[in-house]
Amino acid sequence: MNKKRTEIASLGEFGLIDRLTANFKQHHDTTLCGVGDDGAVVTTKEDEELVMTTDSLFEGVDFDLTYCPMKHLGYKVVTMAVSDILAMNARPRQLMISLGISSKIPVEALDDLYAGIRFACAEQEIDLVGGDTRASMTGLVITATATGVAKKGTITYRSGAKQHDLICLTGSLGAAYMGLQLLEREKRVLADVANPEPQFKGYEYLLEKYLKPRPRTDIIDLLEEEGIVPTAMIDLTDGLASDLMQLCRSSKCGARIYLERMPIARQTSELSEEMHLDPVIAALNGGEDYELLFTVPLSMQEQVMRLGVVDVIGHITAEQTGCYLVTPDGGEIKLKAQGFPEQEA
């Protein structure tokens, strides 16, 4: 049975936008004007500060439509935008989505994309307030621009970490990377198979972490409930090593993280062994975990541990000491932003 295929040209730009955005619900009274005008209009309360971020995903670079369902891709786009807002210790409020669309994509595929966006927006209570569509000669391009708010005095930057601060991490590391490796493996193995049946059993967690990562809004809520304002924070999109080094560069500090404290999920370790990969390398350099890495004063250790969903993996050191991974025998491995870490004698 052939699925219905509607060409984008049959709707036109404005007809397409109307179709894709028709069923989005408004969640915030700060959204004064959303989709349907030349610009969105939002307001903020006097005791709040506005945060804005933007990110893009490119087909063939950031995602592969061979194995990335459009609904999951839509959800992931929202997580990408939301995660940057959360990394500022703020809460997301509004979202704009702009698309570069190639002629190979039918309207029904975009319906699925926006179904995923709509589900994520409803889950996170975010208002879709606009965007744009353009023709693309290089595949699908998705740009998400988000706004968020935080109470004055609570926004957290990358630049606030101080010596002796604890380095805290949410969730596990390397799972998204291993989910991608699994998908790529099955794509290669089944490339010439008429009715492919990929083997994913036992690795569902890894697939979800890559295809449908959830933003850590719960952590921001828990931090507020516990009265904790991190000294510095960043979301993990490029891998622990790279993102920690970015935070340290902004804060003009060094760091020591401990191998035995790094949270690596069982499925990540099992698939790494099966594929002859090092789970530590996946954890350090995998990327797209969308977890939060933050620092707090040493005096807040008990409060952080009470959260129950955060691992303390190290501490901040003086800038001249650099950034290192400490092994169980006391050895130190210098962190690198990409590739294998460099062993020092």
Domain boundaries, the chain: 8-151, 158-343
Whose tokens are 């006391």? That residue is 330
CA distance 333 to 345: 9
Q: What is the pLDDT of residue 28?
A: 66
Q: What are phi and psi of 138, to 5 degrees?
A: -120, 25
What are 20's two structure tokens? 């894709």
Could you say which architecture CATH assigns to the domain 8-151? 2-Layer Sandwich (3.30)
CA distance 68 to 217: 24
Q: What is the pLDDT of residue 339?
A: 41
CA distance 235 to 215: 10
Q: How many CA atoms lie within 13 A of 13 on its CB side?
A: 10
Of the candidates 91, 124, 107, the residue with the CA atom closest to the CA atom of residue 17: 107
CA distance 252 to 246: 10
CA distance 38 to 158: 34
- Taking CA atoms, 156 is separated from 49, 125, 134, 293, in Å, by 12, 22, 35, 12
Same fold? 8-151, 158-343: no
What is the per-residue pLDDT across 68-77, written as a single tens digit (0 to 9) for each? Answer: 999 999 999 9
List of E strands, the chain = 31-33, 41-42, 48-58, 91-101, 127-135, 141-151, 166-170, 232-235, 254-258, 292-296, 310-317, 323-326, 332-334, 342-343
Q: What is the pLDDT of residue 26?
A: 74
Q: What is the pLDDT of residue 153?
A: 86
* CA angle (22, 27, 89) in 5-degree steps: 125
The pTM assigned to this predicted structure is 0.87
The alpha helices in 56-194, defined as continuous H runs, are: 70-86, 107-124, 175-189
The CATH number of the structural domain formed by 158-343 is 3.90.650.10
Q: What is the pLDDT of residue 219?
A: 96
What does each of the 345 residues of the chain score in pLDDT, given as a tens digit?
A: 456 777 766 666 556 666 666 666 777 667 665 455 444 455 677 788 888 888 999 999 999 999 999 999 999 999 999 999 999 999 999 999 999 999 889 999 999 999 999 999 999 999 998 888 889 988 999 999 999 998 988 999 999 999 999 999 999 999 999 999 999 999 998 877 777 788 899 999 999 999 999 999 999 999 999 999 999 999 999 999 999 999 999 999 999 999 999 999 999 999 999 999 999 999 999 999 999 999 999 999 999 999 999 999 999 999 999 999 999 999 999 999 764 344 443
